[in-house]
Amino acid sequence: MEKKMVRCVRWGYEVNTSSDDCIHAIDSYFQQVLSFGRNGKVILEAPLHDKDCVLGNILAAHYVSSSDYHRAKSYLKAATSNLEQSTPYEKAVFESVSYLMSEDRDDNLAFEMLAKLLKRFPKDLVSLKRAHILSFYMGQPSPFLDLVQQVLPENQEESYIHGLLAFPLLELGRMEEAAAASRKGYEINKEDAWAHHCLCHVLHHECRFKEAVEFMKEVSVSWPSCSSFMYTHNWWHVALCYLEGGSPMSKVEEIYDAHIWKELEKEDADPPEVYLNALGLLLRLDVRDALDGSFKDRLKLLAARLTDQENWYLEWHLDILIIWALAKVGDVSRAHELLEGLKFRVSKMDKEKQQEIQKGIQLGEAVYEYAKGNYKQAIQLLGSDFNAFGYKVKQISSY
């Protein structure tokens, strides 16, 4: 690769490319990631504008890594072959992202690599968000909180940093600080959907359900540009506030139909992300013994889609919810097939990973029995020391 004129991405860090369009595609992608946007595929334009750009290629590789293995390999090869001519920032991103894509990755090491990158490049909030995703699914908010606080001085006026700060504070029960961080993010950017989400968590925790609903409905005008996950998840929170605040069940039905299920009608919807929140709401109804009548019909309609194995093995959380849904509507054989499929996949992991993921299998078995009405057996499977916080399990993320 010939030496090119360097350009700077939105953080001010240098990238070896002569293409303004390549940089624009990368910056647009960064914005999509930070805002939970629904146009992450914009990163695929970067290699079209500069086939040798290391940063554009490695980000494109990561974006398609969970959906198109061969295409990801092609982007990774292009990034690798031009690595020698890349800038220090590009090399750091390449190192951390390529390791995230490795099949036998160690999540603790992946987090350490991102932390190392952020010491040198503290304004890279997309790398910070990757660290957040890792820490969340590892159930370790404290190291991530330390990392956010480390880079906060360089990013005080960035809205997205405050939402990232708020969430580990929520997980650690530091509600006043979480509320302050959420409000700071909202003050800087009224359309920060993650800040909306975090503030709703605080209001929900404080049982201020009416206030939470009013706030979320007011800011919801900005959500249609969000990914299927973020759009339906924020509405899921509204439905939950209705449910736990004692509102008529018709309010919950309205949210499910108009803002969760209806998302599937959009051409650019990501169905598994919608299913995740739809199932999460219906399960909440079930544990309250409120899954009857029209809600049971809604579950049957949803479960019919979940027999498609294209929706299996994308994310542990989704798999466990699918097991519940299929067993709940009487499709026990398919629920059992998915559960056994998860066990088989775990059996192929090394011993250390098997131990890490065993709680996920245990939870899947308990949910399977619960859905069949075997409540005593479900409780026995969970054990007397059950703590939901310890049951966070890995997901595949294109960000």
Q: How many CB atoms lie within 10 A of CB 95?
A: 16
380: helix, strand or coil: helix
Residue 388 scores a pLDDT above 80: no
Task: Output the pLDDT for position 391.
Answer: 60
385: helix, strand or coil: coil
Q: Which residues contact 308 (CB under 8 A, 6 or more apart)?
A: none
pLDDT band at 394 (very low <50, low <70, confident <90, very high): very low
Q: What is the pLDDT of residues 70-90, one digit of tens each?
A: 999 999 999 999 999 999 999
- Owner of token pair 């647009």: 28
Domain ranges across the chain: 1-120, 227-298, 307-399
349: helix, strand or coil: coil
Task: Output the pLDDT for position 187.
Answer: 97
Distance CA 183, CA 200 (A): 11
Q: How many CA atoms lie within 13 A of 278 on its CB side?
A: 28
Task: Output the pLDDT for position 147.
Answer: 98
* Six-digit token string for 296: 């049971």
Q: What is the pLDDT of residues 91-145, one digit of tens each?
A: 999 999 999 999 888 999 999 999 999 999 999 999 999 999 999 988 899 999 9
Q: What is the pLDDT of residues 178-196, one digit of tens each?
A: 999 999 999 999 999 999 9
Cβ–Cβ under 8 Å, residues 399 and 352: no
Task: Output the pLDDT for position 389.
Answer: 62
